[in-house]
Structures are given as C-alpha cells and as structure tokens.
Amino acid sequence: MVRISRAGRQKAGDRPLRRRWSTATAVLGALAAFSTGLTPQAAAADWQSKQWYLDAMQAEKMWKASTGEGIKIAVIDSGVNAETPSLKGQVLTDEIPAPHNYAATQDYDSHGTNMAEIIAGTGAGGGVKGLAPDAKIIPIRISFGTLKDKTEKAKAPSVIEAIKAAADSDAKIINMSFTAELPTFQEDEAVAYAHSKGKLLFAGVGNDALGKGYSAETIGYPASYPYVVGVAAADESGTVGRFSENGWYVDVAAPGLDVPGWCDASFRSYCMREGTSAATAVASASAALIWSAHPDWTANQVMSALIDTASRDWPKDVPSKYLGYGLLRPRLVLADADYKPAPPDADPLHRENAGGKAPSPEPSPSEEKKDGADPAHAPGGENATSATEAADSGDDLLWPVAGGAVAALVIGGGAVVLLRKRRTG
C-alpha cells in the first residue's frame, strides 16, 4: 500500500504562552494565545509580526505591484476551514463538483487551513496573512493518517482524483503539501494531465532527511513526478532546514521554518511550525503574485521567472541537491517593469521532466568532492555566503540578514516527527 504522509507539526519543545529565542538559528518559539469561543478565532497576539518571511521577502513592496488578485490555487490537503478570520471570503466552495468536493471545508487537523492562510490569508483579526492575500483558494480534501473515520476516508477523493479535479477547475496553481513513499502510474498520469491543462504544480520534497541520511537522495511523491516543482524549506537566515529532503528532484527553496499556523483542528490558537509544506505554500503564493501581474503568461513562463531570479551562488544550470535552482525572490520579477519572460513553451525544468529523475549534472571544479556530495550545500558546506560578501559582489539576497549572519547556503537545524500519513510541513 502506498503511504501518503506528512510531517507538519508544532515545533519541538514549544509551549503555548511562551516565547524563546535561539540566537544560533534565529528560531522563534511558540507564542500561542487561546480563545474560548467555539468558532475559530485569531489569537490575541499579532501573529503577522511572527511571519518573518513577509518582511524578508519584502511583501509590502511586492503588494504594490501584485496581491495575487485573479489567481485561484487548488489546495489538495486535509480540507480548508473557511471560517477562520483570515480566510473568510477567501475560499471558493463551489469550484469542484461532487463527489470530489466532499467536506472540503471541514479540516480534520488544521494542516490544509494553515497552507491556505500562508497562501491567501487576509490577516484579519491578527491572524496569519498570506503572501498573496487577494488570491483565492479552491479546497480539495483527501485522506491523511489523522482522518480516522473509515466512512469519511471512503468518501474522500484519492490523490489521483483530487489532482484531476484540480486540473479541471479554474485553478492555475495546485498546492500539494504532502508526500508518498512510492509512485503510481495513475498518479503520474494525473500530474501529466494537470500539466497538459496549463497548471503549475508545487509539492514539498519531504521532511525525512535526518531519517534517511543525506546520501539517500530520496524524495517522496508527488514532488518526484515530472511536471511537479519540488520545494525545500529554509529558515530566517536563509538556511535550508536540516530535515528538508535532498536530491535531484529539489527544484527551489522557500521559507518553511518558524512559520505560524493553527496548533490543531480546534482552531483555538496558533503555534510555530516547520516543514516543506509551508515552503510549498510560500512557493505557490510566489507564483500567484507573478501570474496575477502577468495574466497572459504560461505556467512555464511563471516558473522560468522564479528560477531566473532565485538566489544562488552556483551556476544556474547546475542545481543543488539541497536548494535546487535557489531561494525564491518573486519581488525581482515584480519590480522589473521590463522583465522579459522566457518563451511560453520553454520548459524551465526540462531536464527533470524529460524522463523522471534527471542525471546528476557534471560538477564544476569548485563543486567537485571525492565522496560525490553536493559540497556547496551539504551539511557543513564551505560555500556559505555572508550578507557582507553578497553585498560586495552585488548579489541581491533572498532576504535581509540581520547582523551580517551567514546566508542561504548551508544546511541548518530542525527535527520532524513522522506520521503514517505525512504532509510536508
């Protein structure tokens, strides 16, 4: 049996009503304020101030050019609670026909709601604000391990059905913050069908790097399918999470550590969370911002622009096993009124998409290492770039790094708990 699973969780050691700092990794601890009502309420704390990535990615500047208006994102997940303060008016409940729309707004463990808020939350009531706050969410609920009711499981669409339903909808982007251990031919076909319909698909690469070992180069599905963009998770310093799985299916990286989200399905409080699920949602929102500003572009052109402007200190045509083509910086596309897109039919991930796993590219002399690892971005890699060095070289970092801290190109801390059904953050 193929196991679909997730690793999204409250950060280890975090507790409500406490805040802790780790100066080594700039980690925010949990600060959860409880509400007593029976309906979802935003926590009393201003959780947008905990969304470090909004400042880091210069969201306020980007929103002057684009807020994601006109873009719909299908969130295939545990369902999306449309009644949280941040999601009221943001969730489209009539876009997917029955039976695949079953209980789409009944989120059984908060994961799908968290992804939707990261993408398109309005921030109302002090809740999480999405990177693309005027985009809209199309929810499709599938069954993960936390859905215990057998009847509910039977009514939930399969991943295959969910992808096809999203492909037939008006969504331009499909967000899949989950992984499975094994591929299936039918899922591969469903992904190819969505691609043929002009959709841009994002999936988390998974959170089990520590469990499998850095040499395993094993990334789950659907991130490993052709035409799916595999997203790794980075923290506030630009450091890729140590849990974030690696290999040649990693296409890009985005913020995924110390991201606030609902603690559980009671929707009473927020907690700090981590994982490639959140990074996937940030990537989907990044694409929505660009597509909203350039509605006549194709999925290939949007993705090409994201890759072209990603932060990296290695050759563009030599992707890293840990960061892929780099850390996403959609603001560089939005800020350039004269930006020239790639040809509409040019696949920016043609090597990966041509036949499944792309062969490892020939390393440049600076990247060669006897054990065959990816030295620039492996644990303890020596090619980390400081903010000062980047400024001297004219590089525009993914996000500002306070105090000239090491930026973007080494593997950082983090831990995950594997569940039978694992979402990626």
Catalytic residue chosen out of the listed positions 78, 107, 111, 269: 111
* Secondary structure element (H or E) that encloses residue 22, with its range: strand 21-22
End-to-end CA separation in angstroms for the chain: 22
Q: How far apart are CA 419 and CA 396, in angstroms?
A: 38
Give the whole-angstrom CA distance, residue 74 versus residue 12: 30
Q: Which of 5, 14, 77, 269 is catalytic?
A: 77
277 catalytically annotated: yes
Catalytic residue among 66, 244, 269, 277: 277
Written as six digits, the tokens of 366 are 């600076």
- Which residues are CB-contacts of 20 (< 8 A; sequence separation ≥ 6)? 14, 27, 29
Catalytic annotation on 208? no
Q: How far is CA 124 from CA 106, 127, 337, in A?
A: 20, 6, 31
Burial pattern 298-321, b for ≥16 Cβ within 10 A else e, equals bbbbbbbbbbbbbbbbbeeebbbb
Is 294 catalytic? The answer is: no
Taking alpha carbons only, the member of 107, 144, 105, 128 closest to residue 59 is 128
CA distance 322 to 139: 30
Rounded to 5 degrees, φ, ψ at 180 are: -125, 150
Kindly list the catalytic residues. 77, 111, 277
